[in-house]
Amino acid sequence: MHKTLSIELTVYQASDMHPPEVPQMAVAGRSNVGKSSLLNRLAGRKQLAKTSSTPGKTQSINFYKVEPGGYYLVDLPGYGYAKRSKTDREKWARLIQTYLTDNPWLRAVLVLIDCRLDPQASDLELTAYLKERKIPVLAALTKADKCSKREGQARLSQWQDILGGVPPLLFSAVTGQGVEAVWDQVDSLLWQDPENG
Ligand code: GTP
Ligand code: MG
């Protein structure tokens, strides 16, 4: 069924963090990996979330309500972009950490990873942190249109070995590869049966 995403809330400061009390999944990953582009592609809208070829575009935490489903997808600022000022990086790290810590409504994190790159220290840190906190991880390898089939498959099995659990997916915001697979996984993790919720 076709889904719509609508922006419900934007948070700029850790001190303003009051996540809505509904099931939610965050979209996390290094700056420029394609978080906002994935959300636009899932929504079938080009300009829902702002994207840019310059890393560091998303500077706030943006909550999108998904209907049907009644849950939220949450676009986070990227991490690991060295050219930002130290103050900015610390501010975003605190914002992201505040969101991820002690949030009883956070059901899972969709971690985006560039299919062209070897696992980066910051990706391994994030996935280890989530594992430690027992937050389920769904990994999507982005920019699949830029990877050969062979490279994509090798990357999938590399991440499967690292993460275990739900197998990672290949995704492209350009071709739409993986859109259905991501929706299936997101729905199965978040869509609550109102009777048994
Ligand atoms: P921050 O908000 O800075 O953390 O970045 P982000 O992870 O939200 O990335 P964004 O969606 O803004 O995309 C960054 C750049 O990558 C843009 O130039 C996008 O057009 C490009 N991009 C995103 N997804 C894909 C993809 O699947 N394929 C290709 N070829 N380019 C992509
Ligand atoms: Mg973004």
Structure tokens at 98: 């505040």
Q: Give the domains, in start order, of the chain with CATH numbers.
A: 4-190 (3.40.50.300)
* pLDDT score at 197: 47
Does 33 sit in the ligand 1 pocket, CB within 6 Å? yes
Q: What contacts 50, CB < 8 A, 6 or more positions away?
A: 36, 57, 58
| Residue among 30, 40, 52 whose CB has most ligand 1 atoms within 8 A, to mutate | 52
Q: Residue with structure tokens 């505040």?
A: 98
Ligand 1 binding pocket includes 80 (Cβ within 6 Å): no
DSSP 3-state of 104: coil
The pair of three-digit structure tokens given for residue 128, joined into one six-digit string: 């280890």
Q: Which pTM value belongs to this model?
A: 0.95
Residue ID of nearest Cα to ligand 1 atom 13: 34
Q: What is the pLDDT of residues 35-78, one digit of tens each?
A: 999 999 999 999 999 999 988 888 899 999 999 999 999 999 99
Note the pLDDT tens digit of each residue in 88-131.
778 888 899 999 998 999 999 999 999 999 999 999 999 999 99
Spacing of C-alpha 187 from chain mean position? 14
Q: How far apart are CA 173 and CA 191, in angstroms?
A: 23
pLDDT in tens, 122-143: 999 999 999 999 999 999 999 9
Cis amide bond preceding 168, omega within 30: no
